[in-house]
A and B are shown apart, each in its own frame.
Chain A
Amino acid sequence: MDVLGNYKSVISARSTDKDITKKSQDGGIITTLFAYALEEGIIDGAIVAGPGDEPWKPEPVVATTKAELLAAAGTRYTISPNLNLIKEATRSYGLDRVGIVGTPCQMQAVRKAQLYPIGMRDVDDKIALALGIFCMENLSYQALEAIVEDHCNQKMESVKKMDIGKGKFTVYTERGAVSQMPLKLLSKYVQPGCNVCLDYVANLADISSGSVGSPDGWSTVFVRSMKGNAVWDGAIAADLFETKPMDQVKPGLDLVTKLATEKITKNQKNVDARKTFGLKADGTAKGLRNPYETP
């Protein structure tokens, strides 16, 4: 399959909702789509990454209002275990139509939960909108702490904003200090599980989005499934987004394709390397487990 997955259209967009764009780093796509879907009754609630009990630690929450969505808006640098709340949302909250946002691997988890609902009772037909975010790799919370507190020498609670770009991990504090760490130091902090991930642009989401490929303040949006298409068309008709054709923005789709290819090629090598990781007594290779072949 193509590294960008199946999609019906790809477009550069940003939200026309100022409340939302103020809070989000890119085009505010996810928040705007969920707000629209809530308003229209397409979803009854959305599982998003809300604030946790420690600074910059995300905690999944079920947002049922725009205010709750706004409280959760913005990029996270550590994964929020949103799938943890799926049954909570459908069974404890009793939601019939659930939205969920997540990384490419979390979109894979959503589809597996729908196709093979082994321990996911009454979930398959309740996922009304699965929104994916582009993801190169993720950090554990402790890794983020090491970067912010050790490398950048700032306290987690004093950090106002974090940013990845131009070869640096940048931390901005409330008091105006700016600290940076070169991105090449990042690799040792990447979660091991990310190194076998074969998806960059959330191929299995209904709609996926990320900043790569579009100008500052805009997002690249892939509209993928029938459901995604219907929601996107509705949101466009409601004037919720400004859009530009992908071939008219810089740096454009080529950059997305390039990064996707890089990620997948690198990680496919990692997956393959697992097959010959060790050594058997007879001199042949001893492999690690390969989740893409057998449980």
Chain B
Amino acid sequence: MPGRTPEKRPEGQPAATQPQAKPAVKPSDVIVKEKVEVVQKEEKPVAEKITIGELHLSGCTGCLVTLADNYEGLFKLLDDYADLVYALTLVDVRHVPEMDVCLVEGSCCLNDKTSVEELKEARAKSKVLVAYGGCAAYGNITRFSRGGQWNQPGHEAYVPISEVVDVDLYIPSCPPCPQQVRNVAVMAYLLLRGNDEQKNLATAYLTPLMQLAQRGNEACGCDLLYDVINQGLCMGCGTCAGTCPVRAITMEYGKPNVNRDLCIKCGACYAQCPRSWFNFDVMNNYEGIMDAINGAMQ
């Protein structure tokens, strides 16, 4: 798979500056290119907000529900930081609009023209395109589709969205976690509307999730074998086993054992493993960052 072999990985650069060298459109490039557009609304001065949309492709709506699972946090986000401009059932907008951040839920069915067109339109109209959840990022459970299902038996080819469009950022897992999408939304706000310091923080925070998008679109519990244990990096912390949403991983004698038949290929275990990536520049400031996020949500 392209981009997976170790020699293709850039070396020796600090994590925070790395993505600029990568081919896909990066949020940081975009802010330079496109000036912040002012979204005007009557009641409140909301010019500072960013716009977020959710494009629903072949997913189960669990990702969208996850967004709502932030409860008051979602209202806070919508009050102060972001306008939700597109989302199934939540927003009465028929056609994909221009937006700062587009969260794409679900994989893309190649046999469904509308899906492909909407995905391309979303790419064209958004500054940051996020593969939101395991299906969009890695195919997840839809990897197992062989078609023939009622009532669209011809729909059988489902691919992670990066097969069709360039993707800036991944939020893996099935479903993703409310707090993770919240953190990305807050950081996207800081990236697009913040001062220099906030932009730097947001860039550093978002970098590993952008690097995940560069890493490839195949995920499996096997990644723990290939890219952690086989690489001599596993120290047996147990995070992967605690993370897996389908309990496909058990810790046996201090190392993860993956039940590969149970694995739905959501990518959560590898992304959560502290040895897939660990960015000291961000983690060493965990207290301040968590305070900042909590403060933003008050």
B176 to nearest A CB, angstroms? 7
The answer to whether A294 and B18 touch across the interface, beta carbons within 8 angstroms, is yes
Contact B11 A111 (CB under 8 A): no
Cβ-based interface call for A124 (8 A) = yes
Interface-central residue, B212, B237, B238, B271, by most chain A CB under 10 Å? B237
Cβ of B282 within 8 Å of any chain A Cβ, yes or no, is yes
Q: Which of A80, A111, A119 is within 8 Å of B286, CB to CB?
A: A111
| B177 partner residues in chain A, CB cutoff 8 A | 117-122
Residue B108 interfacial (CB < 8 Å): no
B residues 187-229 with Cβ under 8 Å of A?
Answer: 205, 208-209, 211-212, 215, 227
* Chain A, residue nearest B271 (CB): A118
- Among A115, A142, A193, point to the contact of B275 (Cβ < 8 A): A193
Complex alpha-carbon distance, A192 and B231, angstroms: 9
Count residues on chain A whose CB falls below 8 Å from chain B CBs. Answer: 65
Query: CB within 8 Å of B: which of A42-94?
Result: 57, 60, 78-88
Give bound CA distance, A290 to B253, whole Å.
25
Q: What 0/1 pattern do residues 268 to 298 of B give for CB contact below 8 A with A?
A: 1111111111111011101101100010000
Contact pattern, A 267-291, Cβ under 8 Å of B = 1, otherwise 0 = 0000000010000100000111111
Q: Which B residues lie within 8 Å of A113 (CB)? A: 239, 272
Chain A residues in 8 Å Cβ range of B212: 295
B276 A295 Cβ-Cβ under 8 A: yes
Supposing A114-B286, A115-B283 touch, asked if A294 and B233 sit within 8 A by C-beta, the answer is no
B233/A289 in contact, CB under 8 A: yes
Contact B238 A82 (CB under 8 A): yes
Partner of B13, one of A57, A115, A293: A293
Cβ-based interface call for A112 (8 A): yes
Closest A residue by C-beta to B18: A294
**Interface presence of A32 (CB below 8 A):** no
Min CB distance, B255 to chain A, in Å?
A: 8
Residue from A88, A105, A141 within 8 A of B274 (CB atoms):
A105
Give the docked Cα–Cα distance between A118 and B286 (Å). 16
Say whether, besides A141-B254, A289-B6, A293-B13, A122 and B178 are in contact (CB < 8 Å): yes
**For the complex, is B236 an interface residue (Cβ under 8 Å from A)?**
yes
Known: A118-B171, A120-B272, A289-B227. Contact between A108 and B12, CB under 8 A?
Answer: no
Q: How far is the CA of A205 from the CA of B180 in the complex (A)?
A: 22
| Residue interface mask B11-27, A partner, CB < 8 A = 1 | 11101001000000000
Residue of B nearest to A198 (CB): B280
Assess whether B236 is in contact with A114, with CB atoms less than 8 Å apart.
no
- Select A193's contact among B208, B232, B269, B294, beta carbons within 8 Å: B232
A-B contact pairs, 18 of them (CB 8 A): A5-B284, A60-B238, A81-B238, A83-B237, A84-B251, A109-B237, A109-B238, A112-B274, A115-B282, A116-B183, A116-B271, A117-B183, A140-B254, A141-B254, A191-B234, A204-B286, A289-B231, A291-B274
**B-binding residues in A (CB < 8 A):** 1, 5-6, 57, 60, 78-88, 102-103, 105-106, 108-109, 111-125, 138, 140-142, 191-198, 203-204, 225-226, 275, 280, 286-295
| B residues adjacent to A (C-beta < 8 A) | 6-7, 9-13, 15, 18, 171-173, 176-180, 183, 205, 208-209, 211-212, 215, 227, 231-239, 241-245, 251, 253-255, 266, 268-280, 282-284, 286-287, 289-290, 294
| 3 pairs of A and B residues whose beta carbons are closest in the complex | A81-B238, A119-B268, A84-B238
